[in-house]
Amino acid sequence: MKKLGLLALLVVLTLIIIPTIVQADPWSAIDSGYAITTNHFGEEIVPPPDPPLQVKVGVLAENFYDPIVNPTGVYEVRVDLRDPDDTVVATDTILLADFTFEVGGSPQGADIYYAWTDDLVPATWVIGDYSVKAYFFAGTEKELAHTIDLTAMRATTVMVVPEVPIGTLTILLTMLAGLAIFARKRL
């Protein structure tokens, strides 16, 4: 009976400690017309990231510029990297010629155009959450849409305390429970 109780306690503690991080794939938004993601999406990085940060921008084919079919479609995209204070620290512009056509490239199988930015490198890195915002412009300089990836990545230091859903108290209680079990076995 004691072994069953101990096993149940270990299972419960394990379920509490296991971090459950759920992140939606930002690229799945492409079926709404526009999407962005980064090559470090959702990662914790120690600056400067290796490889350097780049942003993938996507546009549904029906929203893309075509001189005959869609002359008011997306003609260029400006991408801003924002630091934890929401200050633009790096920017890049993607022009029409930089995009590549992909048949069935969206999660729903729609045709898309996509492009990667150049490396986005701020002058200095600040510890915290970085975001990426893309502005989609028509040939008339009119903004058609914008989209933001709020948690593109998190810049951290090598001196970081591990995070768990319930916090440091959970870690301490688990360590004390393990110590108590060990001490009880020794007696």
Peptide bond into 51 cis (omega under 30): yes
Q: What is the pLDDT of residue 165?
A: 57
pLDDT of residue 78: 86
pLDDT at 11 (0 to 100):
66
Mean pLDDT, consecutive 10-residue segments, the chain of 187 residues?
Answer: 68 58 57 77 74 83 77 80 85 86 81 85 80 79 62 50 61 82 79
Residues of the domain holding 67:
21-160
Whole-number pLDDT of residue 27: 64
Q: Classify residue 178: in a domain, yes or no.
A: no
pLDDT at site 159: 46
pLDDT at 68: 75
- Among candidate residues 58, 50, 62, 94, the one with its CA nearest the CA of residue 75: 94
Which residues, other chains included, contact 23 with Cβ-Cβ below 8 Å and sequence gap of 6+? 41, 42, 151
| β-sheet with 34-38: strand ranges across | 34-38, 55-60, 112-116, 100-102
- Residue 2 and residue 184: Cα distance in Å, rounded? 12
Q: What local confidence, expressed as pLDDT, does residue 18 receive?
A: 54
Residue 186 lies in a domain: no
Do the domain assignments include residue 5?
no
Domains: count for the chain: 1
CATH assignment at residue 33: 2.60.40.1930
Q: What separation in angstroms does the CA of 63 have from each of 1, 44, 99, 111, 135?
A: 65, 33, 13, 10, 14
Q: Is residue 81 part of a domain?
A: yes
- pLDDT at residue 23, rounded to an integer: 46
Q: Which two tokens stand for residue 53?
A: 């940060």
**Is the pTM value of this prediction over 0.85?**
no
The residue type of 36 is I
Residue 2 lies in a domain: no
pLDDT of the residue at 22: 42
